[in-house]
Homo-oligomer: A and B are copies of this chain.
């Protein structure tokens, strides 16, 4: 099954790699129209998915993410229009020079080829991921959840119809029909067929990929983000940043999970920020030094420091020096985002250099680690790995580079 899909995708990718930007944008616009014109049909399929999901005991937020309505279908279509408006990464010349012998060298951005996405029960991801892959010239193999198979098929059919009406291979976008775990594993191990696997899911999926994948992948990992309040911090700014980083959207990876405070300002700062956080319903957990100032907190344990809560919980550590703050962050960070609040130039510079994370903020909320905020227009995820792409991933993350050398018969002597 995967071999056939891989072969189909490889053939389609060859066509996609040579499309000019305006053709791709026209097709994305046509996909949007096709989705909107099939709205009733998509909603009917989604209603059946919802019925089955309810019968299987799915409820609450999970069920809500699964649900479509006319507005949501329009939003999905508009998402494709937005992708059409992004700059095309393919063909961008990222460097070039002339070799000593006169050969002209250029480094050019090109599609990866075949991109596979494994994702959870969110039908909008079917169109989002397909649109980003198509815009970057890649064939997409999409593997969604069994809970949304009908909705995903209805959406994929609309996208494929737009491809077909433009004379492009429909297998540019393929949806895996087998939603078993074995089929997901087969996709992770489809070496030679898949040039990049992007997981959009929880820790279980990511662990499975890290353990089993033989295809190249980019991990959108955990965000155990720290806010460090330096001895020289503007404490009002520090309170605003810490509060925003924790409470603005606690369930996402760029939310702060840990507050590290220099002991020189802890006695003044902690009561202020603790009051604000607790008023918002944040549960605070402290180390011994923090507890000495705020005795009503829960005592933090060794398990707290490496944990991404994704919840209204924050652990507080008081450090005796700037160096101890860096040590703590280096030891427990997941490499996503760290912020320092400081008025001290030297401390800011050292923090930037000595923390080892994808994004380092000076006097700004960790919440700004985001593809939209960075200006990428669309975000494929936030990479916490160091190879290929680090931090928020835009369309460029779905491309590679090729060296093109033009000579006039040069040979090596």
* Residues of A near any B CB (own CB < 8 A): 14, 17-18, 97, 99-100, 103, 105, 110, 112-113, 191, 195-196, 210-211, 214, 216, 218, 234, 237, 240-241, 243-245, 248, 330, 348, 352-354, 356-365, 367-369, 373-375, 385-388, 390-392, 400-412
**Given contact pairs A99-B374, A402-B358, A240 touches B409 in the complex (Cβ within 8 A):** yes
Mostly, the A contact residues are mixed
The 8 Å CB contact of A363, one of B105, B390, B407, is: B407
CA distance in complex: A136, B331 (Å): 23
CA distance in complex: A185, B388 (Å): 24
How many copies of the shown chain assemble into the complex? 2
Q: Are B403 and A360 in contact (CB under 8 A)?
A: yes
Q: Are B403 and A391 in contact (CB under 8 A)?
A: yes
CA distance in complex: A348, B407 (Å): 11
Q: Which residues of B contact A100 (CB under 8 A)?
A: 375
Q: Are A368 and B402 in contact (CB under 8 A)?
A: no
Q: Which residues of B contact A210 (CB under 8 A)?
A: 191, 214
Q: Are A364 and B103 in contact (CB under 8 A)?
A: yes
The 8 Å CB contact of A359, one of B374, B402, B407, is: B402
Q: Which of A17, A100, A358, A362 has the most CB of B within 10 A?
A: A362
**Given contact pairs A195-B386, A216-B386, A387-B216, A409 touches B363 in the complex (Cβ within 8 A):** yes
Q: Are B408 and A363 in contact (CB under 8 A)?
A: yes
Residue of B nearest to A359 (CB): B403
Q: Are B390 and A388 in contact (CB under 8 A)?
A: no
Residue of B nearest to A103 (CB): B364
Q: Are B237 and A409 in contact (CB under 8 A)?
A: yes
Q: Are B359 and A196 in contact (CB under 8 A)?
A: no
Q: Which residues of B contact A14 (CB under 8 A)?
A: 330, 354
Q: Which residues of B contact A401 (CB under 8 A)?
A: 390-391
Q: 20 interchain pairs (CB within 8 A)?
A: A14-B354, A17-B354, A99-B368, A103-B364, A103-B368, A105-B374, A211-B214, A241-B411, A358-B402, A359-B402, A359-B403, A362-B407, A363-B406, A364-B405, A364-B409, A365-B411, A367-B411, A367-B412, A390-B400, A390-B403
Q: A237-B409, A390-B401 are in contact. List 6 more A-B contacts (CB 8 A).
A: A103-B368, A196-B386, A241-B411, A363-B406, A364-B411, A392-B403
Q: Are B362 and A412 in contact (CB under 8 A)?
A: no
Name the distance in Å between A334's Cβ and chain B's nearest Cβ.
11
The 8 Å CB contact of A244, one of B234, B245, B412, is: B412
Q: Are A405 and B360 in contact (CB under 8 A)?
A: yes
Q: Which residues of B contact A112 (CB under 8 A)?
A: 386
CA distance in complex: A33, B196 (Å): 45
The 8 Å CB contact of A364, one of B18, B352, B373, B410, is: B410
Q: Are A387 and B99 in contact (CB under 8 A)?
A: no
Name the distance in Å between A206's Cβ and chain B's nearest Cβ.
13
**Given contact pairs A103-B368, A248-B411, A401-B390, A353 touches B18 in the complex (Cβ within 8 A):** yes
Name the distance in Å between A24's Cβ and chain B's nearest Cβ.
15
CA distance in complex: A248, B404 (Å): 21
CA distance in complex: A241, B105 (Å): 18
CA distance in complex: A231, B14 (Å): 23
Q: Which residues of B contact A365 (CB under 8 A)?
A: 410-412
Q: Which residues of B contact A214 (CB under 8 A)?
A: 210-211
CA distance in complex: A112, B97 (Å): 26
Q: Which residues of B contact A408 (CB under 8 A)?
A: 363
Q: Are B407 and A244 in contact (CB under 8 A)?
A: no
Q: Which of A112, A113, A411 has the most CB of B within 10 A?
A: A411
